[in-house]
Amino acid sequence: MPQDSVTYGVTRIRCHEKELLSPASLQRMLEGGAQEAVRHLVDLGYGGLPEATVADAERLVAGALSAAYALVKEISFEPTVTDVFLLKADVHNLKLLLKLRLTASTEAPALLRGGVYEPEALARMVEAAEYKELPPQFQAVLTSLERDFQSGVDPARLSTALDGAYVQYAYDTKHPLVTAYFKALADFDNVLSMLRLKQMDGTAERLRELLLPAGDISHAALIAGLEAPAEALQRLVAIGPAGPGIRKGLEAQQGGEGLAALERERDDYLMGRFNRARYDNKSIAPVVAYLLAREQEALCVRLILTAKRNGLSDRIITERLRTLYGW
């Protein structure tokens, strides 16, 4: 790829990194009520809605994310990589459209913009049950789901099947940055699925249906974890590059914080993988890092505003906040 396109793309990202929220900004949001938190975001130019109120909270977040997606599409000099991460929005939209069709709902879906495909194009695909425009990993899964629609599909199975296709698509790129990220994501999410099922005394057969394509933790180890005592879980599943984060999450979960602790460790570990990208001016990593930073930031903003509206304590909010990029 031309060096000037790399330099241009990374330089643009460096400029926009300055607009990311800081821990101090999140602290300011915590100090007042919901409206004060929204006003602070508006003062920072977050979301592009200068007259926003609490009622516009989701529009603020959506605006910030939409701008980030548009920027990444515009300046990416390696779209085969960035498109994998943008495809997350398309997977969300496919799940929503298929579930609405499955339930014969007439509700207008809240589709996300910024993915690889326009939401209207995905809606046409689902309506026609024709998926040849999608990557083959999705075509295979959706064709199988379509055959099952006549007898009814468990919405949870639908979601897992699409997540599995997404992870396999990422693996099949064979790009080191992409595969390392998604293997770690699969490891965390598979451990979470195992623990949720363990709490419900679920079966190995059910777990097999829920597991994503394996990262560094084998499906056999996860199935063994269903019957293993708590003290043996770390030996079974806290392995591979994500092992330290999984171990920390398991310790917090077993200490009474619940599965939310492991979810937090997952998000922090995945974001932390890109902290070195702040010093990388020669690869696509800073562009991907900026996109993920905006998504992590959005998660924190949603958490604070939702908690403020529902009267949750600052302590509970702080326990669930994710680490921001570069901090």
pTM of the model: 0.92
**In-domain check, residue 303:** yes
**In-domain check, residue 315:** yes
Q: What single-letter amino acid sits at 322? A: R
State mean pLDDT over 200-211: 94
Residue 149: pLDDT band (50, 70, 90) is confident
**In-domain check, residue 325:** yes
**In-domain check, residue 233:** no
Per-residue pLDDT tens digits for 41-64: 999 999 999 999 999 999 999 999
**Rounded Cα distance, 45 and 36, in Å:** 14
**In-domain check, residue 302:** yes
**In-domain check, residue 89:** no
**Rounded Cα distance, 285 and 82, in Å:** 9
State mean pLDDT over 209-221: 96
Q: What is the pLDDT of residue 2?
A: 57
Provide the total of helices (H) and of strands (E) in the chain, helices listed first.
16, 0
Torsion of CA 132, 135, 141, 142, to 10 degrees: -40
Q: What is the pLDDT of residue 229?
A: 92
Range of the domain at 291: 1-78+284-327
Q: Total structural domains in the chain?
A: 1
Q: What is the CATH number of the domain that holds 36?
A: 1.10.132.50
Q: Which residues of 270-279 are buried (b: 16+ CB within 10 A; e: fewer)?
A: bbebbeebee
Place of tokens 């599995």: 164
Q: In this structure, what token pair is assigned to residue 232?
A: 């043996």
Closest to 53 in 3D by CA, of 40, 39, 66: 39
Residue 3: pLDDT band (50, 70, 90) is low
Q: Which residues of 27-64 are buried (b: 16+ CB within 10 A; e: fewer)?
A: ebbbeeebbebbbbbbeeebbebeebebebbeebbbbb
Q: What single-letter amino acid sits at 214? A: A
Per-residue pLDDT tens digits for 167-182: 999 999 999 999 999 9
Residue 59 near residue 130, CB atoms below 8 Å: no
**Rounded Cα distance, 167 and 164, in Å:** 5
Length of the chain: 327
pLDDT above 80 (res 6): yes
Residue 49 near residue 59, CB atoms below 8 Å: yes
- The CA-atom distances, in angstroms, between 199 and each of 155, 207, 218, 288, 318 are 20, 12, 20, 35, 26
**In-domain check, residue 68:** yes
Residues 6 or more apart from 193 whose CB is under 8 A from it? Answer: 207, 210, 211, 222
Closest to 167 in 3D by CA, of 193, 203, 202, 196: 193
pLDDT above 90 (res 227): yes
Residue 314: pLDDT band (50, 70, 90) is confident
Query: Bigger pLDDT: 317 or 4?
Result: 317
Give the distance from CA 81 to its chain's centroid. 16
Residue 116 near residue 83, CB atoms below 8 Å: yes
**In-domain check, residue 214:** no
Closest to 181 in 3D by CA, of 100, 258, 292, 103: 292
With H, G, I as helix, E, B as strand and everything else as coil, classify residue 184: helix
Residues 6 or more apart from 306 whose CB is under 8 A from it? Answer: none
State mean pLDDT over 150-158: 75
